[in-house]
Structure 1
Amino acid sequence: MTPEEAASNQLGWALLKLLHDHDGCSSIVFSSLSMSIAMAMLAGAGDSSKRRALSSKLGVMQGGSSLQTLQTAFAEMMARVTQVDRSSSSSSVAMANAVCVDQTIVLKQSYLEFLATFTASVMQYPSLSSSIAAINAWIRDNTLGLIPDMLLKEQLKLCHIALVNAVAFKGTWETQFSKEKTQKWPFKSAGKGEGSKIPTVDMMFIENQNILRYEADNYTVVRLPYKSTSPTSSVSMIAYLPHNGIELCSVLSGLASAAYSSKKFTSTKHDTFGFPKFELQSNFSSLDLLEEVGYPIKGNYPEMTTGSNVVNNVLHSALVKVDEEGTVAAAATVVLMSRKRRPQLTTLVFDRPFVFTIANDETGMVMFSGLFAGPSIY
């Protein structure tokens, strides 16, 4: 694994833990690979200091302020990712990059040459907000149609440049599940107290088959390979199941530092193996999250074009579908640039239990007191 690949993985683990800490039991899916590629395209537009700082987070340690070093590192990484068994229709990875600009913008020649390494299409429009349909269509076409309407017109109003990465994966299980064996099965969701209704999932089953597995201190890991004719470019789903009584957060804390190796797995015969069939989609702004995990995004990017160029937002959308045949997944990251950074909006919404009183303003005497815990459910 190269330093750039390790940095992308580290970003994924850091964001998983951060999002879990923020949202608790909510499901989430994203692509740290897509975010890393978008951040690399952004880094090429910074001055030497900004480029060095971003390159360091991206794993480019030596000569990080050099455009050539950054270009070479990510060109090689993208080539390795997309070489996955192109001869097979069973497993494939596709990636595309684009830079969308309004008609008033002339990108600097040095930045255009940098973008060529990413095979980024440069697309010019009268304005980004008025061309929302065309930009969304490009994202849809490069994500297997899974992300059709990622951007809203309102998000592009103040923006003159958008850096876009799209990545898509399609894989067929090496050992497929039988549709006839799929059945409703209880799923022990976190946060469900005693007496709560237990939700069900469509649980897929394999019987009397070998499964690649290993046991860690507080979780079990399985590797579910996708079909491939080349062992050097194979892809698998790796699933980590906490042991009974172990919180997911404690597993997440250790995964970032746990060294992954396919050699840890042993082929173990299972009488029954069950894995849920699911579809999961996430859409969120990752700008504040990326800054929280140490990506120095704030500041101007003068090597992109003349004038001020600051990051207005970083939007991310991802979707994964897992069924008896295999998996399809896609993600897109859009870095929105504007002439000035988006204002910090002050927002307060009472969307959780709160205490209230009705009191005299002058004396402070309370006439009524209460606690609102939400609407009654009958």
Structure 2
Amino acid sequence: MPGCLKRLKEKKTVQMMFKKAKFNMGYIDEVHTQVLELPYEQEELRMLVLLPDEDTDLAVVEEALTYENFRAWTNPEKMTKSKVQVFFPRIKLETSYDLESFLRRLGMTDAFEEAKADFSGMSTKKNVPVSKVTHKCFVEVNEEGTEAAETTAVVRNSRCCHMEPRFCADRPFLFFIVHHETNCVVFCGRFSSP
């Protein structure tokens, strides 16, 4: 399903997915943002999406985002489970980071210096320093990979006057993949441009 992702005054065509089902959904008045919970197939993980209103910049949400606010905003008790029309872009994000400078600032310096590196528990050679530490992140959301964003055909009765809630991620948003049992964030990201 083609759609447009609106970014400031720029529009780009993107592939959108659609699903109409029961989801937990809420609204954050203080930052004018919708919250949607998309459970994964085994329900061990869930994706939480923070979608600002069309007239609210994503930076407003990011500035107000703290751990305490995140916990309050995504509290299942503050969300309502109801049938929602969800429009969500197919996304594929990938990035990598060189962690040496971060690790050095945290005090892990000996591991990078030949004279001080001691990995004798893992190597028969002495003084073998770490030459590089890289972290690579990858997330892809498509019909096959996220049950909650599965493509579904919908037939509506035109005589029905009840409007279902609508969650249309056609503008920048934040997303968090959370372990359900521990409520620990295992991945987070910002989608602002396809």
Establish whether TM, by shorter chain, passes 0.5.
Answer: yes
Shift in Å at residue 242 of structure 1?
1.9
Cα 1:211–1:316 shift into 2, 3 Å: same
Q: 1:200 to 1:253 in 2, by over 3 A?
A: same
Q: Secondary structure at the match of 2:110?
A: coil
Identity of aligned residues (%): 24
Measure, in 2, the Cα distance between the counterparts of 1:241 and 1:288.
33
Deviation at 1:273, TM superposition (A): 1.7
* Aligned pair partner of 1:253 in 58, 63, 67: 63
Rounded Cα–Cα distance in structure 2 between residues aligned with 1:327 and 1:235: 11
Instruction: Report what 2:16 is aligned to.
Output: 203
Does structure 1 residue 240 correspond to structure 2 residue 53? Answer: no
Counterparts of 1:308 and 1:205 in 2: how far apart (Å)? Answer: 56
Q: What residue identity is the alignment partner of 1:249? A: A
**Are 1:299 and 2:117 an aligned pair?**
no
- The aligned residue for residue 315 of structure 1 is 134
Alpha-carbon separation, structure 2, partners of 1:307 and 1:324:
50
Q: How does 1:272-291 map to 2 (within 5 A)?
A: 272-289=85-102
Contact 1:298 1:310 in 2 (8 A): no
Regions of 4+ moved over 6 Å: none
In proportion to residue count, which structure has more helix? 1
Higher normalized strand content (fraction of residues): 2
Q: Secondary structure at the match of 1:252?
A: helix
2:98 is aligned with what amino acid? Answer: S
1:299 Cα offset (Å): 3.0
Q: Which runs of 5+ in 2 are unaligned?
A: 148-194
CA-to-partner distance for each residue in 1:183-213, whole Å, 9 max, x for gaps?
11110125xxx5x5x2111111123x32211
**Which blocks of at least 5 consecutive residues in structure 1 are unaligned?**
1-182, 329-378
For 1:215, give the aligned amino acid.
Answer: Y
CA deviation vs aligned residue, 1:137-164 (integer Å, no higher than 9, x gap): xxxxxxxxxxxxxxxxxxxxxxxxxxxx
Q: Does 1:267 align with 2:81?
A: yes
Shift of residue 303, structure 1, vs aligned partner: 4.5
What TM-score does the superposition give when structure 2 sets the normalisation length?
0.56
Q: Secondary structure at the match of 2:119?
A: coil
1:172-251 map, 5 Å? 183-190=1-8, 194=9, 196=10, 198-207=11-20, 209-216=21-28, 217-218=30-31, 219-228=33-42, 234-251=44-61
Q: Deviations over 1:52-74 (max 9, x none)?
A: xxxxxxxxxxxxxxxxxxxxxxx
Instruction: Please give the secondary structure, in 1, of the residue aligned with 2:56.
Output: coil
CA distance in 2, matches of 1:291, 1:253: 28
> Is 1:213–1:268's contact at 8 Å kept on the other side of the alignment?
yes
SS in structure 2 of the partner of residue 312 of structure 1: coil
How far apart, in 1, do the equivalents of 2:118 and 2:103 lie?
A: 22
1:327/1:210 CA distance change after superposition, 3 Å? closer
The one-character-per-residue Cα deviations of 1:310-356 (angstroms, maximum 9, x if unpaired) are: 5433212222221123349xxxxxxxxxxxxxxxxxxxxxxxxxxxx
CA distance in 1, matches of 2:63, 2:103: 18
Where do residues 38-57 of structure 1 align in structure 2 (5 Å cutoff)? none
Equivalenced residues, count? 133
- Quick one: distance in 2 between partners of 1:273 and 1:279? 18
**In 2: Cα distance, 1:299 partner to 1:240 partner:** 41
Report deviation, 1:240.
1.3
Letter in 2 for 1:240: L
Tell me how far apart the structure 2 counterparts of residues 241 and 273 of structure 1 sit (CA, whole Å): 12
Distance 1:318 1:307, change over 3 A: same
Q: Residues 225-272 of structure 1: CA distance to partner in whole angstroms, max 9, x if unpaired?
A: 1122xxxx62111111123233323322333322254433321332x3
| Conserved? CA contact 2:110–2:117, under 8 Å | no
Larger Rg: 1
Q: In the alignment, which residue of structure 1 is the partner of 2:188?
A: none
Report the aligned-residue RMSD: 2.9
